[in-house]
Amino acid sequence: MSNVYWYGNRYVSQEEVLISPEDRGYYFGDGAYEVFRFYSGRLYETDAHLKRLWHTAAGLRLTLPFTEAELTSRLEELVRRSGAADGNVYLQITRGAAPRAHPFPKGAEPVVMAYASSVDRPLAAMETGIRAVAVEDIRWLRCDYKTLNLLPNVMAKQEALDRGADEAVLHRDGTVTECSASNLMIVKDGTVRTHPANRFILHGVTRAVVLRLARAAEIPVLEQPFTLDELASADEIFITGTTVEVTPVVALNGQAVGSGKPGPVTRRLQQQFAATLPS
């Protein structure tokens, strides 16, 4: 079944989405995006995604052409029209279409496009875990904005796949930041540790949920940077993200992580995360 798109304030088929070759998203990656998750037809952690979208828009000096309430009802309508139980809503907003020139164009209207699609929970990867490799983080210094400029993320992900892994763990001069499309956490001596939510990482919605769950379960949490060496000696490693949820990393740079199997803290957080999902 083809997806229903929200475009030009109408619900249309993909063929009716007519993006201009002069769209600044196409020329410059000049725009913001969000990926929302829904379970059993209900959006998950909507407010956190909206907050981040407004944060990105403020950072890019992009005026969003809708209120939070208007956007939420559009997203809910897309979910309804998709007919899917579990899935994602992809939303992007560009600065509009205008002849190619770097300055913000005068009078251009933001271009909004969104669609909902059916996406299953990644149950197999969550059960068995994935392999990761370390890749240099060459992104800009505002990784807290969820912008369309994803080329360094794309390059890192492809490098991971080319090296026989599933995900790239990014590091700046040996300090681990996050992954190409997810946040990263380690467990050492029972403490969950992850990079602080500053400009060097995306402030993951799932990251925040997992930290909240860990604290509620009285699992010690440290939001402090750590090195590649500390990563390599972690007892457990896992990634978090809207589509990956809580997925164990069982191999790093070709070496087993801990026992080579998903660890007990990861398992516990997976169970707690699952309990937060709408059913």
Which of these segments, 89-97, 191-199, 237-245, 268-276, binds ligand PLP (CB under 6 A)?
237-245
Is residue 206 a contact point for ligand PLP (CB under 6 A)? yes
Is residue 205 a contact point for ligand PLP (CB under 6 A)? yes
Minimum distance from residue 146 beta carbon to ligand PLP (Å): 7
Q: Which of 3, 88, 92, 183 binds ligand PLP (CB under 6 A)?
A: 183
Is residue 177 a contact point for ligand PLP (CB under 6 A)? no
Residue 172 or 261: which CB sits closer to ligand PLP? 172
Question: Could you tell me which of 224, 176, 217, 218 has the C-alpha nearest to residue 197?
Answer: 224
Residue 60 or 97: which CB sits closer to ligand PLP? 60
Q: Which of 31, 241, 258, 262 binds ligand PLP (CB under 6 A)?
A: 241
Residue 95 or 207: which CB sits closer to ligand PLP? 207
Residue 183 or 266: which CB sits closer to ligand PLP? 183
Is residue 181 a contact point for ligand PLP (CB under 6 A)? yes
C-alpha count within 13 angstroms, C-beta hemisphere, residue 174: 3
Element of type H or E holding 73: helix 68-82
How many residues are present in the chain? 279
Q: Rounded to the nearest 10 degrees, how much is the dihedral formed by the CA atoms of 100, 102, 106, 108?
A: 50
Which of these segments, 11-19, 25-33, 98-106, 178-186, binds ligand PLP (CB under 6 A)?
178-186
In the range 22-41, which residues lie near ligand PLP by CB under 6 A?
35
In angstroms, the CA 66 to CA 121 distance is 30
**Residue bearing tokens 């499309």:** 181
Residue 72 or 108: which CB sits closer to ligand PLP? 72
Amino acid at 124: A
Q: Order of strands, edge to edge, in the sheet holding 42-44?
A: 10-12, 5-7, 111-118, 87-94, 31-39, 42-44
Burial of 244 (0-12, 13-18, 19+ CB in 10 A): buried
Which of these segments, 75-83, 118-126, 218-226, 239-247, binds ligand PLP (CB under 6 A)?
239-247
DSSP state of 125: H
In angstroms, the CA 31 to CA 238 distance is 30
Q: Which of 25, 129, 152, 204 binds ligand PLP (CB under 6 A)?
A: 204
Q: What's the first-to-final CA gap in the chain, in angstroms?
A: 24
Minimum distance from residue 162 beta carbon to ligand PLP (Å): 19
Is residue 167 a contact point for ligand PLP (CB under 6 A)? no
Residue 181 or 221: which CB sits closer to ligand PLP? 181
Copy the structure tokens of residue 74: 């559009």
Minimum distance from residue 114 beta carbon to ligand PLP (Å): 16
What is the total count of residues that contact ligand PLP (CB under 6 A)? 14
Q: Are strands 87-94 and 111-118 parallel, antiparallel or unpaired?
A: antiparallel
In angstroms, the CA 154 to CA 272 distance is 31
Residues annotated as catalytic (active site), given as ranges: 146
**What residue ranges bind ligand PLP (CB under 6 A)?**
35, 153, 178, 181-183, 202, 204-207, 240-242
